[in-house]
Structure 1
């Protein structure tokens, strides 16, 4: 059964953390990432206060092919990064152990991740992998996303929850619609594209961790047995 783990590692201990080097007080929030593979393109937001030095550091890094500013909104900029994921031991471990990256937030010294693994055994395998690769890994909360009484947010991050709840309360899903994505963006002080991505990821994660997984378990439990 799948588990979700909250992990913390030093920014200097993996390639992407070294690429996205920040000044003191800066913060990066991962908004989306294409499926991990030969090309992993993260989309992340950075505040204007650290933008200039951040862009310079990233553009000069040997693992980076290019960085593109996608949007800007009220002191925050959304970037996409084309980089060589094969050089990142930490992300290669996620790929090998079939983990799914749900969220990531980085500061000057530390990155925090929320990753879903297929089983407790694969999570243990990832911990062993990081130990062998000399990647300092601190494991926080670990929970089963569909077990009653645990994992109350079902893998949906705080930012995604806030966006989805405001969308529901504001009438984004009402007929007729009473709120647009731009209204949500203005309310949350983020870009329109960031709102769209948060809503998409929140609904996808919530559905996968509840309806789909529960349906699969019920199907297995009530599958008719073959008579000999």
Structure 2
């Protein structure tokens, strides 16, 4: 039976420690994809918490990256393609050696938080042993067996994501021109801009993926844009 593990790896033992030191409010999230050999090195990251120019510069200057390319920019984050240093690539390979399914992968200054599905519990012990051999600490936060099936990892919005999305819609955040900005909306919800940006991005991606994969293939007049 498969098992889901939630664990943390310190940034200084994994990746982007220097970038987080330069931008303490920065948050990154791994862009999930169907596993194949080219995607094992986790090349795509969403990042927010500073200006796009600053974030891109600090990601590029971090010693754990070899190259950084901005692929797209939205109001609450940017997507980057990362080529990691050899040392970081080796650590990633150790993490992925037992072919886990990455459900979530996020990072802040305090550490990298992963939620992964493993086929066997023994794989988690091996992961801890392999990384420890390379001087990388794995702090296991939670271990549980999934009770209900999910679609593509998780399609449903969390209550916090739903609240953030509803507030953004009601406040005119998505209108053109906008009637509010991220800072005002975060203050209204009494959360940080970083937390709000993450919730809106995840909610937007979840809703978009659900519509594109399950909705009817109807053609809508482009003039409505």
Q: Structure 1 length as normaliser, TM-score?
A: 0.61
Instruction: Please report how far the alpha carbon of residue 37 of structure 1 lies from its aligned counterpart in structure 2 after TM superposition.
Output: 3.2
Kept after mapping to 1: 8 A contact 2:22/2:58: no
CA distance in 1, matches of 2:74, 2:49: 9
CA distance in 2, matches of 1:191, 1:140: 22
Kept after mapping to 1: 8 A contact 2:26/2:50: no
Kept after mapping to 2: 8 A contact 1:164/1:199: no
CA distance in 2, matches of 1:65, 1:29: 16
Kept after mapping to 1: 8 A contact 2:30/2:46: yes
User: 161, 166, 174: which one pairs with 2:158?
Assistant: 161
RMSD: 4.1
1:127 is paired with a residue of what secondary structure? helix
Q: Which runs of 5+ in 1 are unaligned?
A: 170-181, 204-228
1:45-56 to 2 correspondence within 5 Å?
Answer: 45-48=47-50, 51-56=52-57
Instruction: Please report how far the alpha carbon of residue 97 of structure 1 lies from its aligned counterpart in structure 2 after TM superposition.
Output: 1.3
Aligned to 1:96: 97
> Is the alpha carbon distance of 1:165 and 1:202 closer, same or farther for their aligned partners in structure 2, counting shifts above 3 Å?
farther
Aligned residues: 180
Kept after mapping to 1: 8 A contact 2:71/2:81: no
Aligned to 1:126: 127
Instruction: Please report how far the alpha carbon of residue 163 of structure 1 lies from its aligned counterpart in structure 2 after TM superposition.
Output: 7.4
> Is the alpha carbon distance of 1:190 and 1:54 closer, same or farther for their aligned partners in structure 2, counting shifts above 3 Å?
closer
Q: Which runs of 5+ in 2 are unaligned?
A: 167-173, 176-181, 186-195, 212-225
Instruction: Please report how far the alpha carbon of residue 110 of structure 1 lies from its aligned counterpart in structure 2 after TM superposition.
Output: 1.7
CA distance in 2, matches of 1:189, 1:138: 26
CA distance in 2, matches of 1:70, 1:87: 27
> Is the alpha carbon distance of 1:201 and 1:163 closer, same or farther for their aligned partners in structure 2, counting shifts above 3 Å?
farther
Q: Structure 2 length as normaliser, TM-score?
A: 0.61
